Structures are given as structure tokens and as C-alpha cells.
């Protein structure tokens, strides 16, 4: 079955950087788009970024554009999210999520368990 | 960005009754809409994609309808396990966006 395992979360000071990773298994990673979706404590879901199967074209939410970078390493079955210039409002659980199609223009059909990022001084 | 507005914010329903949840898009997203269910402490679960197609394993009491800017998720004969928060998600335009969620609670 599909497994998505995030790592890299933790406590970081405002203005610093953090890189999240997500290792995928149970499906052919190189054939699907993948997303990052976050959820602040007690709040709703917020779409963060997505990348298609071939990494041609990367897409970002307005609140993270210019600060976050999504990338993937297909041979390693791994998705990344480089988060720069972090702000308190970036505090959330970050979910790695599999697209229902090869493109990133698709619904999410599987979710990881999430990794918590806390931005605080 | 396309704003997704869900209503109501909270819906109180008795077990066995039906529930109708609405999701409105600020611009047309065609049928590029999905619904997810999230229970406390759990990750979201895909229920509906393409506005009206049920995901694998989703009970037939869940149904989706609509296109363009107006969408509905109907849960007929609510079961105890259906009390949760429901989110709509548009993937028809960038950036993708979620609605703020509708909480279905026991009346």
C-alpha cells in the first residue's frame, strides 16, 4: 500500500531555514505528482506546493511563494520542501501527499502522517 | 487565487439523518473538485474526486454533485463514524486551494 513518511520537522527560529523530506513507497513514485499540504494547530488545510512526476513546473501557494522550494529525487523516491525565511505563521503540521495523477493538477489520494514545524524564538 | 467558501461552518445532525454540505468557488473550477474527511487526530481521507466520483472504499451514502462554482457533498443516513470535518479542494487552477471546512457534529 502507499506509504509516505515525512521527516525534518522541528523547532526553528523566525528567519531561519528548514528542509522537509518525504520518502514514498508502495507505488511508482516517478509516475505521480506530489504535494505538500499544511495544517496549523486547530486550523484547516492549506495547500502549499506541488510538483508533477517529471519536475517540469513547480507550483506554490501565495503565502509561501518566493520562500519555499519544492523538489523531488525520483531515483530516491523522495520529495523535499526547502523552507526559507520562516515565519511564525508557517507553524503547522506539513503533510506529504500523493496526487491522483501524473500531473500535479489533481486531487490528493494518499497522505503521510505529517511532520510538525514550529517557528518560534 | 480561487477562494473556496464552505457552508455552513458547523452542521448539527442526528444519526440516521442526512447532511448537505456546500462549497462555492469564486471562479469556475469545472469539475476539478475533491472532498476530504478528517477526523480528530487523523490525516485527511479522500472521499470524492472530479466533483462526483467516489474514491475507492467510500460508502455509497457519500455523494458529490455540482460543477463550475457550486458543489455539494451529501451524506445520507449519517453513521457515528461520519462525524468529522469535511474539506473541499479545487485543483482546476493555480494555486490550488481548500475550503475552510465544515464540521459535522452530533445533534
Q: How many CB pairs under 8 A join A and B?
A: 61
Q: Kindly report the backbone phi and psi dihedral angles of residue B81, in degrees, each rounded to the nearest multiple of 5, phi listed first.
A: -75, -5
Q: Kindly report the backbone phi and psi dihedral angles of residue B50, in degrees, each rounded to the nearest multiple of 5, phi listed first.
A: 60, 30
Average pLDDT over residues A10-20: 98
Choose the closest CB to A46 out of B49, B92, B98: B98
Decide if A113 and B43 are in contact by the 8 Å CB cutoff: yes
A75, B19, B57, B59 from B86: Cα distances, Å: 35, 11, 17, 15
Residue A12's pLDDT is: 98
Which of B4, B37, B43, B86 to probe the A interface (max A CBs under 10 A)? B43
Residue A102's pLDDT is: 86
Cell readout for B34 is: 475533491
Choose the closest CB to A61 out of B43, B95, B100: B95
Any B CB within 8 A of A60 CB: yes
> Which of B12, B21, B14 is closest to B102 using CA atoms?
B21
Describe the strand order of the beta sheet including A18-25 as a list of residue ranges: A3-7, A18-25, A78-83, A68-73
Contact B82/B104 with Cβ under 8 angstroms? yes
Q: Rounded distance, CA B104 to CA B82, Å?
A: 8
Q: A71-110: per-residue pLDDT in tens?
A: 999 999 999 999 999 999 999 999 999 999 888 899 999 9
- Tens of pLDDT along chain B (107 residues) come to 999 999 999 999 999 999 999 999 999 999 999 999 999 999 999 999 999 999 999 999 999 999 999 999 999 999 999 999 999 999 999 999 999 999 999 98
Choose the closest CB to B95 out of A62, A106, A108: A62
Q: How far is CA A51 from the centre of its chain?
A: 10
Sign of the dihedral through C-alpha A114, A117, B1, B2: positive
Chain-wide mean pLDDT for chain A? 97
Contact A58/A35 with Cβ under 8 angstroms? no
Amino acid at each position: 500500500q502507499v506509504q509516505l513518511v515525512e521527516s525534518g520537522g522541528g523547532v526553528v527560529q523566525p528567519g531561519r531555514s528548514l528542509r522537509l523530506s518525504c520518502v514514498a513507497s508502495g507505488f511508482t513514485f516517478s509516475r505521480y505528482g506530489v504535494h505538500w499540504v499544511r495544517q496549523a494547530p486547530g486550523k484547516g488545510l492549506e495547500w502549499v506546493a506541488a510538483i508533477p512526476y517529471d519536475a517540469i513546473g513547480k507550483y506554490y501557494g501565495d503565502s509561501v511563494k518566493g520562500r519555499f522550494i519544492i523538489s523531488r529525487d525520483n531515483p530516491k523516491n523522495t520529495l523535499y520542501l526547502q523552507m526559507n525565511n520562516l515565519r511564525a505563521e508557517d507553524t503547522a503540521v506539513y503533510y506529504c501527499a500523493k496526487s491522483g495523477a501524473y500531473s500535479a493538477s489533481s486531487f490528493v489520494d494518499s497522505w503521510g502522517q505529517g511532520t510538525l514545524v514550529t517557528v518560534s524564538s | 487565487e480561487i477562494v473556496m467558501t464552505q457552508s455552513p461552518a458547523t452542521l448539527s445532525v442526528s444519526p440516521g439523518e442526512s447532511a448537505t454540505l456546500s462549497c462555492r468557488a469564486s471562479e469556475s473550477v469545472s469539475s476539478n473538485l475533491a472532498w476530504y474527511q478528517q477526523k480528530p487526530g487523523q490525516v485527511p481521507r479522500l472521499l470524492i474526486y472530479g466533483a462526483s466520483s467516489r474514491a475507492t472504499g467510500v460508502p455509497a451514502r457519500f455523494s458529490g454533485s455540482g460543477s463550475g462554482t457550486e458543489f455539494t457533498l451529501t451524506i445520507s443516513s449519517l453513521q457515528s463514524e461520519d462525524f468529522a470535518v469535511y474539506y473541499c479542494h479545487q485543483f482546476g487552477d493555480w494555486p490550488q486551494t481548500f475550503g475552510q471546512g465544515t464540521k459535522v457534529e452530533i445533534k
